[in-house]
Structure 1
């Protein structure tokens, strides 16, 4: 892997998102074990299995009214973020608040795509799976439910929420792929990306060596590590490339 310019907290969100696109959520989790990782039940609906951008937060109050409100609010949100020149995709994050029914479906996906959102993530249920897939918008949800709720509860938009078991602030960086959904602030993302790219490079070298015939004990300290564990000595498995 070619070396890339160092990221800093002064780097643009656009550049950060571009760098994330070359990684995976497992690499980010390896780079930063305490990163905010959402409930593993949240998975992509359809073939579009990666979305990266900044979080537009919705507390649903178990209803879809606030999501409908949010879908019409993208330009105001970008102004709220003061991101006139540093425009990253905006990902709609919907906290289901434990709703037993679908909070988003085909119309939500179609409107989100038309209005310029880069994806949707919810820790609740969705419906209209064919329509969601036809929209070609990255859409992540916990599951499906054919039933929709009433439209008479008002939640909140653009405020801190809890979704998928983690806190999400407006403007946080969202990285979702087939392996999971992680949430980061800018500082966390910069650190995780730099370390993740280093891990990715080492893993690529290790995999090539394995394909060339190397054994695990030739690419990492597995024998020493096992012996240390058996003797009660503090140890860590690491690549020895």
Structure 2
């Protein structure tokens, strides 16, 4: 696991929504951090934080994408045995929606190895069994055909694109009801520093809205409202 992503950092990020993280990174000039097509497979999945463990597929080629390839030393099965506890597996399936990258047995093994979550811009199969494994999954949905019907697995732990976002091994991934967001490792400290206070600010603004306050000067806050908010932080 990325040494900078310690227990305290994970606990802090677990309190910060993906929506807030995108706002923080936008202010840093990073606009493309939300992975398109990554929806929770099941409602109510918790917010999860972990270092990215990447897998990459390319389009299927008939001589390579075969059931026999599942026994190759370079296979999804071999990649799973390399996955460390606490990682978020991020899979580049090129947005393919008619070939399931993983089914129930592979997801069960990932869960047994302590994988925190699976994120892909593709789909999974054997959905009833996948749900029974309790492995949290974010994907485009489900499909019955196996991966080799449309994809060739090529490697793991290298830079990939998932949902139009560049993902490097050990970048930080946060997933919740809004999908999967990438925090480049170099920006972790920035997000940690700003995240919790941004959540507190937005909670305070929501409270003011519920009291009937108008939005101009409140969201975003002007100097007066910023001072009012900061006064609440100083109150024991």
2:130 aligns with 132
- Which stretch shows the higher mean deviation, 42-51 or 170-179? 42-51
2:81 aligns with 72
Q: Equivalent of 1:92, from 89, 95, 100?
A: 89
- Give the Å deviation of 1:13: 3.0
- Give the Å deviation of 1:35: 5.0
- The residue correspondences of 1:113-124 to structure 2 (distance < 5 A) are 113-124=111-122
1: distance between equivalents of 2:32 and 2:77?
Answer: 27
Q: Does structure 2 retain, via aligned residues, the 8 Å contact 1:38–1:180?
A: yes
- Which stretch shows the higher mean deviation, 25-34 or 39-48? 39-48
- Give the Å deviation of 1:148: 1.1
TM-score (norm 1): 0.75
Question: C-alpha deviations, 1:213-238, integer Å up to 9, x for none?
Answer: 23224xx427xxxxxxxxxxxxxx62
SS of residue paired to 1:60: strand
Q: Equivalent of 1:15, from 5, 8, 11?
A: 8
- Give the Å deviation of 1:158: 1.0
2:221 aligns with 239
| Closer/same/farther in 2, CA of residues 35 and 181 from structure 1, 3 Å limit | farther
| Corresponding pairs, count | 204
TM-score (norm 2): 0.77
Computed over aligned residues only, the root mean square deviation of the Cα atoms, in angstroms, reads 2.5
- The residue correspondences of 1:53-64 to structure 2 (distance < 5 A) are 53-62=50-59
2: distance between equivalents of 1:40 and 1:162?
Answer: 11
Q: Does structure 1 retain, via aligned residues, the 8 Å contact 2:38–2:120?
A: yes
2: distance between equivalents of 1:12 and 1:147?
Answer: 37
2:39 aligns with 43
2: distance between equivalents of 1:39 and 1:184?
Answer: 11
> What residue ranges of structure 2 are gaps of 5+ in the alignment?
60-64, 226-236
Question: C-alpha deviations, 1:120-159, integer Å up to 9, x for none?
Answer: 1111011222222211111111121111133894401111
- Give the Å deviation of 1:239: 1.4
1:162 aligns with 2:161: yes
- Give the Å deviation of 1:187: 2.7
Q: Does structure 2 retain, via aligned residues, the 8 Å contact 1:59–1:96?
A: yes
2:20 aligns with 27
1:145 aligns with 2:143: yes
- Give the Å deviation of 1:98: 4.4
Question: C-alpha deviations, 1:39-72, integer Å up to 9, x for none?
Answer: 4321011132432101111112356843222111
- Which stretch shows the higher mean deviation, 106-115 or 142-151? 142-151
